[in-house]
Every structure is written in structure tokens, then in C-alpha cells.
Amino acid sequence: MSALPRRIAFSARDGLRLSALEWPGDPGAVPLLCLPGIARTALDFTGVALRHRGRRRVVALDYAGHGESGRAADPARYRVEVAIRDLMDALAALHLHRIAILGTSFGGILGMALGLIRPTVLAALALNDTGPRIEPMGLDEVRNFIGRDPAFAGIEEAAAFLRQILPPLGIPEEGWRAIAETTYARGTDGRLHPRWDIRILQAMPREAGPTELWPLFHGLPAIPLLLIRGEASAILSADTARRMCEARPEMEFVSLPGIGHAPTLLEPPCLTALDRLLAKLG
């Protein structure tokens, strides 16, 4: 079986082109849908997908304005409520009728929203460094990053920048080049630009305090849950993680010392915990 995914293009209900990567697997197994962070793309899940392909179908989504999906004329198109609508369109277009979701940061928020809107679709949910309370300091860091286009001349320059600006992620020195390659793509001007539309920043809410989404978490159906947290995360606090575990004591919790937002999901504890979560679904 080829390790290369298939690129799938489809249309949102307003006609905007959306894109996803697909690794085929057993059609009788519950598929895994991977949802990236707000400044990331489907490429982030290659390692996870290679681990599970064949046993189950794995799909990773590029949101509007990200990766190979279309850019919107109006940045208001990138609002979170429209992203939820796009997720519904993706489920229909990709024939995903009952799924497990692995959601990093913003992707986990979409996963919680799906559990409230379409509870029968969600078979399991893994939240990667995200939850129902998003800390304002962490959001400020995301805003500062997502709206910036440094237009690097080369990949080594981009890797050095990411190594300096991103939180600790446990990535070895030689691994930063790969992170840069999934973060930036070469444009028509020959320089490296973000794999997302930096105007997404204009659609992000600017509340002064923390973002509170507890109704989404408390509304999740009785399904297998996994929470992954980097202990140096500025997005998901230790107190919020504790409250989540108290509310859903059956939820598996993985805590990664010295890791910030967001874990790469290639950490051994993350891989084995995700294995256990998916094994419950067959």
C-alpha cells in the first residue's frame, strides 16, 4: 500500500474549493478525521496517518484559506461559525457518517462543536492541547504568529525563525526543517510564505478575557475521549485540564512535561494513547 495520500478537492455550499488528504483503510472500521490548528494544515497528520492507514481510513482537512483549500475574497468567510459549516459540508462530501476526530487546538474546538450539533456522528474525540477555556495570553501568541508573513528566502531561514519563536516542542535540531516545510510554501515570487491566508487574523475574535466554551464540552455525548496537554501550554491551563478530567473521569489524559502548544502528536505517549482510543472503536 502506498504511503502517499490522495488529495481530494470538493466544494463548500458557497462554492469555495476545499481540500483534504486521505489515506485509505478498512471500510468497516470507524474513520479518523484529523482537524489541524488555526495556523496549520492537513500535512501535520502525516505521521499519525501512516501509523493507522490500512487499518482504518484517515482523512485530514485543510480549512478554507489553508493549505490547498481556496482563499476567500472576504476574510469574514474565515469566522468560526463558517468553519463549522464547512466541516458539515466536508462530512457529506467525503462520506464520513460516523467518525473519530483528532483535533489540534482550533480543530478540537470544531470537534466539540460537532459533538453538540451532530452527536450521532461523533464516535470518539481526541483533543490535542485544547479545551473549553482558551487562555488570553495563548490567544495573543497565536494572533501574533498567524497574521505575519516573513517571506523567507530559504527553508533554513524559516526553520531558524520557527525554532526561535515557537514554544518548546521537544523537536530535535534536525527536525525544524521539516516543521518549516509544513508551515511555509514557495510562492510565485520565489519566497516562502505561510500555508494559510494571513487575513484569517481579521476573522478571529478579540475578547479581552479567556474564551469560555464549557457548554460544548459538557454537551459531548458519552463517547471515548482523550485529552493531550503540553505542560508548558499557554492555551490550555492545568486548571482547565483538571476541570475537564473531573467532569469526564473516564477520559484518558496525557500530560507532556516541557512541551508547549501544541504537541506534534508524534510523542510516544500520544501515539499509544491514540492507539488505545481507536482500539475501543474496532
Q: List pLDDT tens digits, range 58-93.
A: 999 999 999 999 999 999 999 999 999 999 999 999
The architecture of the domain spanning 6-138+212-279 is 3-Layer(aba) Sandwich (3.40)
Q: What's the confidence (pLDDT) of residue 189?
A: 97
Q: What is the CA radius of gyration of the chain?
A: 18
Mean local confidence (pLDDT), 150-159: 97
Q: How far apart are CA 176 and CA 147, in angstroms?
A: 21
Examine the pLDDT at 174 and tell me if it is beyond 70.
yes
Give domain limits for the chain. Answer: 6-138+212-279
Q: What's the confidence (pLDDT) of residue 64?
A: 98
Q: What's the confidence (pLDDT) of residue 282?
A: 73
Examine the pLDDT at 1 and tell me if it is beyond 60.
no
Q: List pLDDT tens digits, range 179-206.
A: 999 999 999 999 999 999 999 999 998 7
User: Which residue carries 490567544 as its cell?
Assistant: 139
Pair 18, 89: CB distance under 8 Å? yes
Examine the pLDDT at 208 and tell me if it is beyond 80.
no
pTM of the predicted model as reported, rounded to 2 decimal places: 0.96
Give me the percent of the chain exceeding a pLDDT of 90.
Answer: 95
